[in-house]
Amino acid sequence: MTGTQIRLNHIFGRDGKSVVVAMDHGLPGMFPLGHLADPASLLDAVAAGGADAILTTPGLARRFAPHIGKLGLIVRLDGGTTPIGDAPRSSSLIATPEDAMRLGADAVAVMGFCGTEDEGRSLATLGKVATECRALELPLMAEMLPLGFGAEPTVEEIALAARIAAEMGVDIVKTKFVGPQEAYRQVTETCFAPVLILGGSERELGQVTDTIGQAVAAGVAGVAMGRSVWRSSDVRGTVGAIVAALHGRAPYTRAENGVAPA
Among 14, 66, 84, 180, binds its own copies (CB under 8 A): 84
Helix, strand, coil percent values for the chain (each to nearest 5): 45, 15, 40
- Of 44, 69, 70, 94, which one interacts with its own copies (CB under 8 A)? 94
Greatest alpha-carbon pair distance for the chain in Å reads 49
Q: Which H or E run includes 39?
A: helix 39-48
Is the Cα dihedral 65, 228, 88, 109 positive or negative?
positive
* Closest separation in Å from C-beta 193 to its own copies: 7
146 lines the binding site for its own copies (CB under 8 A):
yes
CB 155 within 8 A of CB 195: no
Q: Note whether 27 binds its own copies by CB under 8 A.
A: yes
* Contact call for residues 56 and 74 (beta carbons, < 8 A): yes
Among 92, 204, 234, 250, binds its own copies (CB under 8 A): 92
150 touches its own copies by CB under 8 A: no
For the bound state, the minimum distance from the C-beta of residue 21 to its own copies, rounded and expressed in Å, comes to: 16
Which of 6, 31, 41, 234 is close enough to bind its own copies by CB under 8 A?
31
Report 191-250 residues binding its own copies (CB under 8 A): 192-193
Among 8, 17, 21, 39, binds its own copies (CB under 8 A): 39
- The 3-state DSSP class for residue 218 equals coil
Site string for its own copies, 116-135 (x = CB under 8 A): xxxxx--xx-xxx-xx--xx
For residues 152 and 137, give the distance between their C-alpha atoms in angstroms, rounded to a whole number: 34
Please report how close the Cβ of residue 249 comes to its own copies at its closest, in angstroms: 29
